[in-house]
């Protein structure tokens, strides 16, 4: 069973969450996680001005996803940073190229899930996850979130991401904060949860 983890990461926060999601997927017997990046749309010069070149180079070993790979997967878990309460432009452009799959109903019945990152605690994480679900519903995905069975999202002793809609992390205004262990645990739980549901649907 193939679980595709498709994401965009500017400074490495979403990439780190994606790796944790893959660890969770691996907890389900027979499930194989495949990490994929969506194509970059920003010119090199802009990435340099953003200070993102080094972080991009660090994840350059992750293959770039093609839309056809979505159809071959049993489940797809998407990761995107938040951009004004929505998915990033790179992810939007990638999804906008899936019209052919939509026309064939190629993704109907597959499990779909989303995780995200934002600079601030209330920077639009939940709206990003929920608005992303709209695209998944149009494709016929069976949407899976992060249930309260993951007790880490009940914590009030620390600032942390995570909601019923999906795992998330808080990066800080300058990207100085990497995902906490609780946020990584949420990503692992989500990966395992998605893979478990996909396995039951496949059976």
Query: Residues annotated in the binding site for NAD(+), as ranges?
Result: 11
Among 32, 23, 27, 40, smallest CA distance to 4 is for 32
Helix (H), strand (E) counts: the chain: 8, 7
Tell the burial category of 101 from Cβ atoms under 10 Å away from its Cβ (0-12, 13-18, 19+). middle
Angle in degrees, 0-180, between the axes of helices 181-202 and 13-25, rounded to the nearest 10 = 50
Which residues make up each annotated binding site? 9-14, 82-84, 102, 138
CA angle 162, 165, 171 (to 5 degrees): 35
Which residues make up each annotated binding site for FMN? 9-14, 82-84, 138
CA dihedral in degrees (30, 143, 188, 62; nearest 10)?
80
Asked if 34 and 2 touch (Cβ cutoff 8 Å), the reply is: yes
Among 117, 166, 107, 111, smallest CA distance to 143 is for 111
């Amino acid at each position: 069973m193939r679980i595709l983890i498709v994401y965009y990461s500017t400074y490495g926060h979403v990439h780190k969450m994606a790796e944790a999601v893959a660890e969770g997927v691996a907890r389900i017997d027979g499930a194989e996680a495949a990490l994929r990046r969506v194509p970059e749309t920003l010119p090199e010069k802009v990435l340099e001005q953003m200070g993102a070149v080094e972080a991009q180079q660090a994840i350059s070993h992750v293959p770039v996803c093609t839309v056809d790979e979505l159809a071959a997967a049993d489940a797809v878990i998407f990761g995107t940073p938040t951009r004004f309460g929505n998915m990033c432009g790179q992810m939007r452009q990638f999804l906008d190229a899936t019209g052919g799959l939509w026309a064939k109903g190629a993704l109907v019945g597959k499990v779909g899930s989303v995780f995200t990152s934002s600079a601030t605690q209330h920077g639009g994480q939940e709206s990003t996850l929920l608005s992303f679900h709209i695209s998944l519903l149009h494709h016929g995905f069976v949407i899976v979130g992060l249930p309260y069975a993951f007790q880490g999202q009940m914590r009030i002793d620390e600032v942390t991401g995570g909601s019923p809609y999906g795992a998330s992390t808080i990066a800080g205004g300058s990207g100085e904060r990497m995902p906490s262990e609780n946020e990584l645990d949420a990503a692992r739980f989500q990966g395992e949860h998605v893979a478990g549901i996909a396995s039951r649907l496949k059976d």
